[in-house]
Amino acid sequence: MYIAISGNIGSGKTSLTELLTERLGATPLFEEIGNPYIADFYNDMNRWSFNFQIYFLGCRMRQGLQIKETSGYIVQDRTIYEDAYIFAENLHEMGLMSSRDFETYMKIFDLSANLVPTPDMLIYLRASVPTLVSQILKRGRSYEMGIDLDYLERLNNKYNNWIDNIYKGRVLTIDIDHEDFILAPSIVDDIVEHIKELNAKL
C-alpha cells in the first residue's frame, strides 16, 4: 500500500513519515534534502528555480520507480504532484520561473507522472502560516530561516486549492493547528487504523 504525506514547508511531513514507518513496518521514501541548488535557490529564486525544481522532479521520479518494485507499506514524504502544481506553478506565477522554463518543466512532469503509481492514500497536513513558521524555527535549517511569510501563504493557498479542487484520490486531512500528532500520539493511532482499514479493502 502506497501512502503519501503532503503539506507545506514545516507542516511535519518527515516526522509523520518516520512515525508511520515505525508503526507499520513500512518502507520510507524521504524528500531529498541534499538538493545541491537549495541554498542558491533561497538566495536567488529567479535564477535557480528551474534547476531546483528539476532536481526534485528527478528524485521523485526515481522514488516512483522504486515504489513500483516495493511490496508492503510504503510511506512517501511529499509527492511528485506537489512539485508541479504547488511549487513550480507558484514560482511561475510569482515571476520567479520564466514561462519557457515552466513549459519545459511541465512537459517533463507530465511524462514522469504517467510513469509512476498514484497513492492509495494521501495524508494532507494542513497548517496555518504561524504554525509553519514555529515548526520551521524549531528545526533550525539555516537555508529556511529567511523564508518570506507571503511565500508560505501563497503555497498554503495552492495546497488548499489542490486538495479541495484538483486532486482526485483518497485524502485524509490532518489539521496541524489543532491536531498535533507529536503531542497527541492518539492521533497517530487513528491514522494507522484508518490506513489498515483501507488496506483491507484494496
User: What are the catalytic residues?
Assistant: 77
The residue written with cell numbers 517533463 in the block is 108
Q: Where are the alpha helices (DSSP H) in the chain?
A: 13-24, 38-43, 45-68, 80-82, 89-93, 99-113, 129-139, 149-161, 185-201
The residue written with cell numbers 521520479 in the block is 61
Q: Identify whether the C-beta of residue 27 lies closer than 8 Å to the C-beta of residue 75.
A: yes
Task: Determine if residue 92 is left, alpha or beta; phi over 0 gives left, psi from -120 to 50 gives alpha, anything else beta.
Answer: alpha
